[in-house]
Amino acid sequence: MRRLRTGRRGMAAVALTLTLGMSLAACSGSADDGSSPSPSASDAESAASAADNAAADKIKVEWSDDAAPTVTLPSTPFSVTTLVVDVLEPGTGAEIKDGQSISINYVGVSGADGSVAHDSYSTGPEPGSMNATSALGDLIGEKVGVRFLLAIPPQSEGQDTTVVAGEIVDAQDVPTRASGEAVAPVPGLPTVTLDADGKPSMTPATGTPPTTLVVQPLIKGAGPEVTAGQTVTVHYSGWLWDGTAFDSSWDRGEPFPVQNVGQAAVIAGWNEGLVGQTVGSQVLLVIPPDKGYGDQDKGTIPPNSTLVFVVDILAAS
């Protein structure tokens, strides 16, 4: 039996953390400044949500044992204005919990014409992170094997609604930080300090940065070695050589999955530096420009920058 749900209000945005060839972020209609919406705005949002629920309920999904489900839209172009999460079939496995690492199979369909934009059933399940504020957050408390439908509104002018039908095929607990045997610091490298939760801060080293990739474990985990082709779940923070911070999964509140490590869609320093490390480890990567972004200008990362990352390897599968 289909159980229709509307994505949570009160969020500036929700995002489905998957390896997609499209954006799956969906904006709610709530104010970003913390103020309560006016009664008329709230009524309008409720009416839009009801209309979107009704529209999504008309989408037909036919499941196959050995291929992607077939998604048939009631008409094209199909569109919604709010995120809709529709539980199509309950799972029978273990309960899915907030913060877990999940594996998911799904097919994404364009609302413009019903064409398939992405199909993981043909390539294998893809990784994601279950988070209460994500588009899949409403599936927390469901069980592994749950089949669902998402109707995701356009994210910017010119984009179309996306419809996703899929199933969560696995869910695993993930540690929140590295754990293992501390490794003595190496002179000449940046110094790393951890707060009570394990989030790193970095004191830059003096002198000229290295010209070759440095892979220095700070904590040696007791888990298995990471092998090429695995999906590695990590927490990380990144700085320029001078100590200027530019990115951190800790600040976003959820780990980052590196799919097909060794040939992942990340910089070479990560692909080379993570393979061979053990799960549970914390690794300092000092990445010269030729293993990073080279002469590209990445906004907060100037051309020809040496990058410093502290990476906690939480899981690998």
Peptide bond connecting 303 to the previous residue in cis, omega within 30 degrees of 0: no
Secondary structure (3-state) at 307: strand
The residues pairing with 191 across neighbouring beta strands, listed in sequence order, are 203
CA–centroid distance for 56 within its chain: 25
Of 121, 247, 290, 301, which one is the catalytic site residue?
247
Active site residue 106: no
Whether 119 is a known active-site residue: answer no
The reply to whether omega before 77 is within 30° of 0 (cis) is: yes
Q: Which residue among 236, 256, 287, 312 is the active-site one?
A: 236
236 is catalytic: yes
148 as an active site residue: the answer is: no
3-class SS at 224?
Answer: coil
Cα 91 from chain centre: 22
Of 139, 191, 206, residue with least CA distance to 167: 139
* DSSP code per residue over 112-179: TT--EEEEGGGT--EEEE--TTSTTGGGTTSBTT-EEEEEE--SSTT---EEEEEEEEEEE---SS--
Q: Which residues of 162-179 are buried (b: 16+ CB within 10 A; e: fewer)?
A: bbbbbbbbbbeebbebbb
State yes or no: is 78 an active-site residue: no
- Asked if residues 311 and 232 have their Cβ atoms less than 8 Å apart, the reply is no
**Which member of 104, 293, 312, 313 is catalytic?**
293
Active site residues: 236, 246-247, 267, 293, 309
